[in-house]
Structure 1
Amino acid sequence: MSQSLLVISRQAPWSGPSAREALDIVLAGGAFDLPIGLLFLDDGVFQLAPHQDAKAVQQKDLGANLQALGLFGIEDVFACSHSLAERGLTVPSIAESLGNEEISRLIDRYDQVITL
């Protein structure tokens, strides 16, 4: 039986490779039908902001990777409600908003947790 994995993405899409690496791990896990979830926390919620101009900061656009989550069977996508509110963002349609207590329970549900 496969161990479940939760990837916590805490970096903004333009702050380095961590945001892309988190999405790559999740998509690879989905391709192999692993039980996997993705949580956007802290500045990681900026990855969910619409209409980003990745070229302006000489980065690759992560929007296509986010759109591909469903195609890879990744249904467990979450965003921290506190992080969204602090940054003036609304809950995106691809993610479920969770409070701090819900996030604690979510982390406990998974066998392995990776934070990037």
Structure 2
Amino acid sequence: MAKSMLIVSRQAPWAGPAAREALDIALAGGAFGLPLAILFLDDGVFQLQQGQAPAALEQKNLCANLQALDLFGVEAVYACQHSLHVRGLAAGTLAVEAQPLAAEAITALFNRFDEVITL
């Protein structure tokens, strides 16, 4: 049986390759049918923000990758409620649906998975 995996994405989409790598791992794992979830934490919640203009920073837009998560079988998408609040993002305005989680629920989420990858 495949081990379950939680991918924690903590980097803003423009802060380097970590944001794209987290999404790539999630898409690849989903394509192979691995039981996994992705959690956006800290500045990682900025990846979920609508209306990004990454071309100004000579970056690619991650929105297509985010929208492909469901197509690749990654249905468990979470965002830290506190991170969203501190950064002025509302759960209902995100580019993809992500379930907001309080700190206690995040701790429980970490405990549900065999492996945790943080990028």
Task: Quickly name the TM-score band, shorter chain normalised.
Answer: over 0.9
Q: Hey, what does 1:104 align to over in structure 2?
A: 107
The letter for the 2-side match of 1:42 is D
Mapped to 2, the partners of 1:76 and 1:4 lie a distance apart of: 12
Stretches (4+) displaced over 6 A: none
Deviation at 1:18, TM superposition (A): 0.1
Mapped to 2, the partners of 1:78 and 1:72 lie a distance apart of: 16
Identity %: 61
- Aligned Cα RMSD in Å? 0.6
Deviation at 1:54, TM superposition (A): 0.9
The letter for the 2-side match of 1:86 is V
Q: Hey, what does 1:115 align to over in structure 2?
A: 118
Q: How many residues align?
A: 116
Which residue of the other structure, out of 86, 94, 97, is the alignment partner of 1:94?
97
Q: Deviations over 1:47-102 (max 9, x none)?
A: 00000001011111100000000100111100000000000001135100000000
Mapped to 1, the partners of 2:73 and 2:15 lie a distance apart of: 27
Please list every run of 5 or more consecutive structure 2 residues that lacks an aligned counterpart in the other structure: none
Q: Hey, what does 1:12 align to over in structure 2?
A: 12
TM-score by length of 1: 0.98
SS at match of 1:71: coil
Q: Hey, what does 1:24 align to over in structure 2?
A: 24
Q: Hey, what does 2:51 align to over in structure 1?
A: 51
TM-score by length of 2: 0.96
The letter for the 2-side match of 1:101 is E
Mapped to 1, the partners of 2:109 and 2:97 lie a distance apart of: 17
The letter for the 2-side match of 1:115 is T
Mapped to 2, the partners of 1:70 and 1:9 lie a distance apart of: 17
